Structure 1
Amino acid sequence: MKRISSKEVYERTLQLLTERGVTIPAIAEIVYEMQSPYNKELTMAECIESVEKVLQKREVQHAILVGIELDKLAEQGMLSEPLQTIVETDEGLFGVDETLALGAVLGYGSIAVTTFGHLDKNKVGIIKQLDTKLGKGVHTFLDDLVASVAASASGRLAHNLRDEEEAALNA
């Protein structure tokens, strides 16, 4: 049985995101916007690092690979009806895209979950660009997956800040 290395999966995930117009700095900008009110010393470099760490998780990678593949199939008209129309038009009552993204965010705690809800509702930064299709293509899954990565990276930073604060108190 053929096995795919973690490095291959990670690299393919980054390649697909790039092909779809999503960069790590674009996601990090959202993370910065979400976390800077709570951490006045937060830097973009820390946000970028947090996004990279989230993207190294297999569960996140798998969700991105599946979501982008479904978006690409919808662009090509390759899904059967009624799924083709539902995904192609990002139908309002279709929640599978959010469900996939939410599954990936659950490992980062309630801060990540609530941040995901905020980002899903308010469509910040690159998420808004993907959701409003300012580019070309179908991004039914991708906008929610980007929100998931940003929310996870935000949750990760929030937990790290708490750990640092507690370590300083106990020193």
Structure 2
Amino acid sequence: MRGYQSRASAVVAAIWLFSMPASIEAQTPPAAGTAPQTVVLSGDSWQQGEKVFRLYGVQSCLRGSVYMDQTGERKDCGAVAAAMLAAFLRDTRPRCRSVAQIRTASTSPTVLVACSASIATQELDLGSMMIGQGFAFAALTDLGQPVYASYLAQEILAQEAQKGLWAFEGFQRPDFRKLGLK
């Protein structure tokens, strides 16, 4: 039954992802000196020029939050997640579609995006890649429900397989709601 649910979730995710209008071409190979530099802000967001992009339905560790590696050394979970996102952005050059835009009084607008990358013959969702490899989490609503249910399924599978950050004994999913963050 679990395999069927995973496949059904993947089909729903693919239909959702590819039914959105294309409006952003993030990480396309730039002509020399013409495209703004990409700066990774966290494991779920980056900036190109004046625009900030954030993966819809994805939450990463905050910079400065720590976990213990296999030697007992404290590591910055947020920095590790940001490094993984930077590698995925660099290596896969994903195409992103705008889902929504959020603006607060103190910040520039943030464009929420769903991104896909071509790897070999497959189109893969960037959020699923980050979560499935254990370097990000499914974002939750204020009520504790997943923003995007397929991402929660990916997170559970990564945790069970002890991928990424889940490989370290005692690693706990950050509870961003307790911190007042979304």
Pairwise TM-score range, normalised by the shorter structure:
0.3 to 0.5
Please give the TM-score of this superposition, normalised by the length of structure 1: 0.32
Which has the higher relative contact order, 1 or 2, with Cα contacts under 8 A spaced 6 or more apart? 1
Please give the TM-score of this superposition, normalised by the length of structure 2: 0.31
More strand by share: 2
More helix by share: 1
